[in-house]
Structure 1
């Protein structure tokens, strides 16, 4: 008979390795805890009893256990009409061909931004869609006088890869950057990496995006922030999902897996929503005037896009979920709490069909946050009336009164 410890802790539990799952199945008397920053893998709800958010990303940032990122949404390849693989992601060959067209921008942007923010080149990780793309990146970095080395699933030996990583770990490494193709997305820990470059666009894999960001968020002495250069469009595609995850964590495993099954694609509309159309600075929630250059946001129908603009990007609930202009309540900073208040109010004060009441609650919430949508799974969540605060109740009451007045005036 096999002997098992009382407690088993599994790191990177989202990987769902068959041997690990079988071990857990056999250790019926043990308590098993799985650790994961991205519990989005399909089937996790079948093997784990529940999810506990030990601490959210924003909490860890405030406590100093993670390093904040300065994110720049840079020139990215146009993936319109790109081929898809069997998983629904962009085809690697197509991503490579489109990505090769902007390799020069990748190198030049890295030189300019590291010089501006750090005074020169810094230790960097690049995520590439293919070996061919990575080879071209390394060649052009070399032409510019910098040593970037590629590691991939096609490495001749593990020893060769280990040697490059060992050198890269040194404080004064001769390697400026590692170019990763299908490796280093999880479990890789070199805390003094100051810059990450995303060159692999994703349509669905929110977990891959978050894992990549995490490679640059490790803390290290003298590291005040990390720089993330997004040449994939992922930071735009996953903007609201990232903001919600950083602030609230994961609601449930069954709902979380939907994060890796939804198609998202970057668009100018998202850029126009969050950033100055002139200097590219992220604008304050609800503001129509850029505090940096004084640019005025055009009225609807007059918006123009600026090609190749480098824009500042922060993962903030306040910026991702902007309330309707004119609303001032403090509770607006908590869109999740506002949703719970709307849902609780509707279900507790009417005996109509619950599904219709849920749709009514969503209409109230969208009236408060007109340009946002609820993350997957939250729509069907159970209400918690005991958690609703007085200012949240007041906000929902005022919104219902406003809606009824509008209907009366229209009639």
Structure 2
């Protein structure tokens, strides 16, 4: 059961001792909430007279929170993409009915703050695309290791992603969970503003939802503005390379072909740039083709093109799917740019995965149906 009482705050100058008698002197509060309290503190020398290193002391609200975060802190220990947990212990003060037990975690002190700090005050964002790709790629590598053993972070928000020497570092594993069966990965806690709609309806959190949050974080770093789940529909306004926008769309859009986990997303991030969506060689015949149109054709209306393609023995599809074999690409000249962009995103991702989809122009189509 989760403790219902509020942990009494620590005072500046108060000292906590771990199981080996190592002292930690509290300096000031740096955060508090449902998780408990976080403090700037110093690890002191054995005699308690001089500071050895600045640290962050976190006093958890419950024993369950403490056990969970200490466990995951040990799992990621040594990975430079994670905030390092340095110590964990239960500190007791007083005796009898007056005894107070505090479940304590000690972390490295992140002096550069979080992505949220950078956006809201300290500066340094937006970042260049090359830096964003590199840093998100680094985080994905850690996340892939976590997903591989059934661990999902569940709280990859700007306030929980820190900076160390300018590099992204994951922190706050307070609601992180491990499950052996993804179908039973029930949601126990989440941050609503950064949660995809599917979680609200099905009540489960899987690796794809972690990737969703990294997609939002990518947009935050690229724009210098905090992106929440409700901003996903404005992705078309993002002024970045098409392949990166394609990656973000597949990471975040409800109608997209989702990345299964961080390993899948990492591979896509590094390889989508090499996948072309430019027109190429046309098929020898339209017969049997599964065709999707995007953009406006030069000499045919969409209705005329559909009729000619159907008469040639092909089938027209409204969206790109598993059976699509041909995309007829025309220039986008109207308000359908968002929808048309989605079709190209879908083709780029499916070609990356090996689906044989040809891309031709309207002129090539005209010559093909005239045979």
TM range (shorter): under 0.3
Which of the two has higher C-alpha Rg?
A: 2
Between Structure 1 and Structure 2, which shows a larger proportion of strand residues?
2
TM-score, reference length from structure 1:
0.25
What's the TM-score, normalizing by structure 2?
0.27
Structure number with the bigger relative contact order (C-alpha 8 A, sep ≥ 6) is 1
